[in-house]
A and B are shown apart, each in its own frame.
Chain A
Amino acid sequence: MSFVEYGDTIKDGDTAIVFLGHESMFPVKVQHGTVTQTKYGVIRHSTDLIGKKYGSKVTCSKGGWVFILHPTPELWTMNLPHRTQILYSTDISIITMMLELKPGSIVCESGTGSGSLSHALIRTVAPTGHLYTVEFHQQRAEKAREEFREHGVEHLVTVTNQDVCKNGFGVSNIADAVFLDIPSPWEAIGHAKSALKAEGGRICSFSPCIEQVQRTCLAMEEYGFTEINTLEILLRVYNVRTISLQIPDLGKAAEDNSSTGFDSSNPSHQGSLCANLQQGTVQFKSGVPLREVVGHTGYLTFATKS
């Protein structure tokens, strides 16, 4: 297994995802002799994991069970240890497409942060592309290097510990795309331009605040970038539920055998509304929005170097 190549069976040294149900999961480093505690009991790596197929159901010591999943950048994003605020798959998706990334692409990124986007970028540019990622925090840079090694992708990425605004990305004129998620992206636009290939390179800057966006757009214009475009994208999830609504009691007209209105004793209304006559309810399936959703992550500004 690796984050850039599917494998069928769980091996010693793999990073696997333990799925407990309904958005409850966590990553685990598979190792001979190790045990992992879950609320359903213990998982013994040597007997329960190694050699089993990914996607298998594993019964834990207390009797409950879990599924063991092959890691993907998307699952990693949902489960990685946060060292910083991260980008989620919704933003990552549109970034990947708008930067026109594909196998063979050379990408530059700063800051590396917790490596959420990094893993997704590496997956997309593999096997012939490369990610040059810059992180000014020494421990975070080192932790990122360690994770890339553990996940079998170190040959596709170079982590540099420096300040991108002062020293750039460490490469010139070769990148197909540059991504910036830093506090003052306008200070790195010049470096981004020199890292990008001569013509047609794409740039993206992610900023939570509109003031940052304004400064960045101005800098992009000054440096001759074209097609400058700012957007935001939000995810709306729906829970699938069967809903029962009660039929109100509108009473009966006086001295009348038949009744007006919606009445559970009137069979002709039955078919169209799947009414549950016994309970006086109507059932239907609905995609119910969540009560609280993410309302903002950041503005994404894209441009082309020409």
Chain B
Amino acid sequence: AMEGGPSARIREGDCAVLKRDEVFKAVSVLRRRKIIFEKQWFYLDNAIGHIYGTTFEVTSGGNLQPKQEVEETTTETKEAGTDNRNIVDDGKSQKLTHDDIKALKDKGIKGQEIVQQLIENSTTFRDKTEFAQDKYIKKKKKKYEAVITIVKPSTRILSTMYYAREPGKINHLRYDTLAQMLTLGNIHAGNKMIVMETCAGLVLGAVMERMGGYGSIIQMYPGGGPVRAATGCFGFPKPFFDNLHEFPLSKVQSLLSGTFTTETLPAEPEENALVEEESNGLTEEKQTSLQETEEEPTTEAAMEINPTEEQDTMDMNAEDVEFKENKEKENKENVREKQIKQWERRRKLLEAAALLREKNADGLIVASKFHPTPLLLSLLEFVAPSRPFVVYCQYKEPLLECYTKLRERGGVINLKLSETWLRNYQVLPDRSHPKLTMSGGGGYLLSGITVILDKGKSDSSNSEALKMEEPSSKRCKLQDLPC
């Protein structure tokens, strides 16, 4: 469907992102569910029906109310000083006490008014320079004017949120690095992508967003099942998941060697690896429980058998017989259901295996906590020639090794090891400069393009090949050797 139509409205059941200045938090939009965000608590009920992007205030009752557009106080030439040489910071310039402010808050006085009161009761305010006054007002507004915007999730919003709140969950993948991956990988509608990530499903979601539901994705996963906590936040329509497949890493070797069989399936994960329901948004609990229940199929089966055994020991009378018959039917249904689920899983696994066996994927994206080399060397086998691949690693060293191994393997060109440097700016008249803090590192990328692998001859049979590895200026240097 074409974008540019009417803007999306907040609906019950959506995953929405709360935003206040630079702080984000993902939540489920559910009625009568208490949300805590930025030291405030409230219900989302009143937000339902509003357009995404609406800004709300929290009322004293814990309800949301759209913020009215207020005219900023006119710029009457305010009294201001020229510099701070005579301003002494003795902590006594504010005449309002903590209690005074609390009293104002309790009275239900709006944040704007509180800020005004603070200004009027500050003895040093009029001595501050205009810039310092601006800064003071901004600071107080940030503290007392609690305004929340509800934004629609997107790769931009979610990747920024995860990097700020839970970088450990995404292997410290900074959002600009993710942006590079999506472009370097030429992710677009119609691709057949292989994705291997342990970033809570954020990378998968980003890939899905750029594919718009077209094409197909095979997600490779370690252990019992893929973690897709973040993927659920994007709010993709159901059809997007029709062409999303998954395949266990533990079966890759057998698939490559031709000995693949569905006889020993990996342990069944919890069925609800998708959308979280807790109001706290990021389901840490669900994720850990997913890892913990990896080895559970036998216990589940055992639980099914017990009820029937119990029935045999019950007394038999007319009602009990009917009850017992119904119970037996129910148990048969449960077992049947479990069988159907097993067949379904097997079918899906075979489907994914068939897709991989075609060895014609349009690209490969790897972003995981695992050492990248074994992943690349095996998963590249499933990628068609003349297609891009991108590997993310939190650290540079494993990618050095990966680069070397890829060179030995051959069948790849244009290898590039890179990282991006990102800086945010404050832009104000006469006060523009880079912001004071910045991220020290956002991870590293190794990218390249596949070519037809000449298994017989080595790629360096070309007399020019050696020159391809060394820039000519370095050929004579004593110390550097090409890898």
A43 within 8 A of B: no
Residues of B contacting A103 in the complex (Cβ-Cβ under 8 angstroms): 188-189, 210-214
- Over the window 188-214 of chain A, the binary record of Cβ atoms lying under 8 Å from chain B Cβ atoms (1 yes, 0 no) is 000000000111100000000010011
- Grouping DSSP codes into helix (H, G, I), strand (E, B) and loop, the A interface class, with mixed when no group exceeds half, is mixed
Residues of B contacting A230 in the complex (Cβ-Cβ under 8 angstroms): 424-427
B109 within 8 A of A: no
B450 within 8 A of A: yes
Given A231-B423, A235-B420, A242-B483, 16 further pairs, Cβ under 8 A: A4-B189, A5-B190, A21-B413, A23-B414, A72-B186, A97-B176, A98-B156, A123-B186, A126-B188, A127-B214, A233-B421, A239-B471, A240-B404, A243-B481, A299-B425, A306-B53
Q: Which of A50-58, A159-167, A258-266 participates in binding chain B?
A: A50-58
Min CB distance A193 to B, Å, is 15
Quick one: closest B residue to A301, CB to CB? B427
List 20 interface pairs A-B (beta carbons < 8 Å), by A numbering: A6-B387, A8-B360, A22-B468, A22-B471, A53-B385, A56-B451, A74-B183, A94-B180, A97-B156, A127-B189, A197-B3, A198-B7, A199-B51, A199-B52, A200-B51, A231-B422, A235-B420, A241-B482, A285-B404, A304-B53
Quick one: closest B residue to A56, CB to CB? B452
Complex interface residues of chain B between 249 and 268 (CB less than 8 A to chain A):
none
A248 within 8 A of B: no
Quick one: closest A residue to B468, CB to CB? A21
Quick one: closest B residue to A213, CB to CB? B427
The residue that A241 contacts in the complex, of B152, B384, B451, B480, with Cβ under 8 A, is B480
Quick check: B7 and A200 within 8 Å, CB to CB?
yes
The residue that A93 contacts in the complex, of B184, B424, B462, with Cβ under 8 A, is B184
Taking A69-B386, A90-B180, A241-B483 as contacts, is the C-beta distance between A236 and B418 under 8 angstroms?
Answer: yes
Quick check: B479 and A244 within 8 Å, CB to CB?
yes
Quick check: B210 and A102 within 8 Å, CB to CB?
yes
A124 within 8 A of B: yes
Expressed in whole angstroms, the Cα–Cα distance for A4 and B422 within the complex equals 29
B417 within 8 A of A: yes
Expressed in whole angstroms, the Cα–Cα distance for A217 and B426 within the complex equals 10
Residues of A contacting B179 in the complex (Cβ-Cβ under 8 angstroms): 93-94, 96-98
Expressed in whole angstroms, the Cα–Cα distance for A286 and B452 within the complex equals 28
Quick one: closest B residue to A211, CB to CB? B432
B429 within 8 A of A: yes
B403 within 8 A of A: yes
Expressed in whole angstroms, the Cα–Cα distance for A286 and B481 within the complex equals 11
A35 within 8 A of B: no
- Over the window 161-196 of chain B, the binary record of Cβ atoms lying under 8 Å from chain A Cβ atoms (1 yes, 0 no) is 000000000000001101110111010111100000
Expressed in whole angstroms, the Cα–Cα distance for A124 and B482 within the complex equals 37
Complex interface residues of chain A between 225 and 239 (CB less than 8 A to chain B):
228-239
The residue that A65 contacts in the complex, of B178, B180, B432, B462, with Cβ under 8 A, is B462
Quick one: closest A residue to B403, CB to CB? A240
Quick check: B464 and A200 within 8 Å, CB to CB?
no
Expressed in whole angstroms, the Cα–Cα distance for A94 and B423 within the complex equals 12
Min CB distance B235 to A, Å, is 13
Expressed in whole angstroms, the Cα–Cα distance for A230 and B426 within the complex equals 7
Interface residues of B (CB under 8 A from A): 1-8, 51-53, 55, 152, 154-156, 159, 175-176, 178-180, 182-184, 186, 188-191, 209-214, 360, 362, 384-388, 396-397, 399-401, 403-404, 413-427, 429, 432, 449-452, 454, 462-465, 467-469, 471, 478-483
Give the interface residue-count category, chain A.
35 or more
The residue that A69 contacts in the complex, of B180, B419, B449, with Cβ under 8 A, is B449
Expressed in whole angstroms, the Cα–Cα distance for A303 and B414 within the complex equals 35
A144 within 8 A of B: no
A129 within 8 A of B: yes
Min CB distance B371 to A, Å, is 15
Expressed in whole angstroms, the Cα–Cα distance for A57 and B413 within the complex equals 11
Quick check: A174 and B4 within 8 Å, CB to CB?
yes
Min CB distance B462 to A, Å, is 6
Min CB distance A224 to B, Å, is 9
Residues of A contacting B403 in the complex (Cβ-Cβ under 8 angstroms): 240
Min CB distance B301 to A, Å, is 43
Residues of B contacting A123 in the complex (Cβ-Cβ under 8 angstroms): 186, 188
| Interface-centre pick from B1, B53, B478 (highest chain A CB count, 10 A) | B53
| Interface-centre pick from B7, B212, B399, B480 (highest chain A CB count, 10 A) | B212
Quick check: A197 and B212 within 8 Å, CB to CB?
no
Quick check: A55 and B482 within 8 Å, CB to CB?
no
Quick one: closest B residue to A126, CB to CB? B189
Quick check: B480 and A237 within 8 Å, CB to CB?
no
Quick one: closest A residue to B415, CB to CB? A240
Residues of B contacting A158 in the complex (Cβ-Cβ under 8 angstroms): none
Quick check: B182 and A96 within 8 Å, CB to CB?
yes
Taking A55-B451, A214-B429 as contacts, is the C-beta distance between A6 and B414 under 8 angstroms?
Answer: no
Taking A19-B413, A40-B464, A74-B184 as contacts, is the C-beta distance between A199 and B53 under 8 angstroms?
Answer: yes
Quick one: closest B residue to A128, CB to CB? B2
The residue that B481 contacts in the complex, of A129, A174, A244, with Cβ under 8 A, is A244
A287 within 8 A of B: yes
A184 within 8 A of B: no
Min CB distance A151 to B, Å, is 14
Quick one: closest A residue to B191, CB to CB? A6
Residues of B contacting A286 in the complex (Cβ-Cβ under 8 angstroms): 400
Complex interface residues of chain A between 46 and 104 (CB less than 8 A to chain B):
53-57, 64-65, 67-70, 72-74, 89-90, 92-94, 96-98, 100, 102-104
Min CB distance A288 to B, Å, is 8
Expressed in whole angstroms, the Cα–Cα distance for A283 and B479 within the complex equals 9
| Interface-centre pick from B3, B51, B212, B415 (highest chain A CB count, 10 A) | B3
Residues of A contacting B7 in the complex (Cβ-Cβ under 8 angstroms): 197-200
Min CB distance A54 to B, Å, is 4
Residues of A contacting B175 in the complex (Cβ-Cβ under 8 angstroms): 97
Residues of B contacting A90 in the complex (Cβ-Cβ under 8 angstroms): 180, 420
Quick check: B3 and A106 within 8 Å, CB to CB?
yes
The residue that B182 contacts in the complex, of A93, A129, A217, A236, with Cβ under 8 A, is A93
Quick check: B451 and A57 within 8 Å, CB to CB?
yes
Expressed in whole angstroms, the Cα–Cα distance for A231 and B179 within the complex equals 14
Min CB distance B103 to A, Å, is 33
A105 within 8 A of B: yes
Taking A100-B154, A213-B427, A240-B400 as contacts, is the C-beta distance between A287 and B417 under 8 angstroms?
Answer: yes
- Over the window 10-53 of chain A, the binary record of Cβ atoms lying under 8 Å from chain B Cβ atoms (1 yes, 0 no) is 00000000010111000000000000000010000000000001
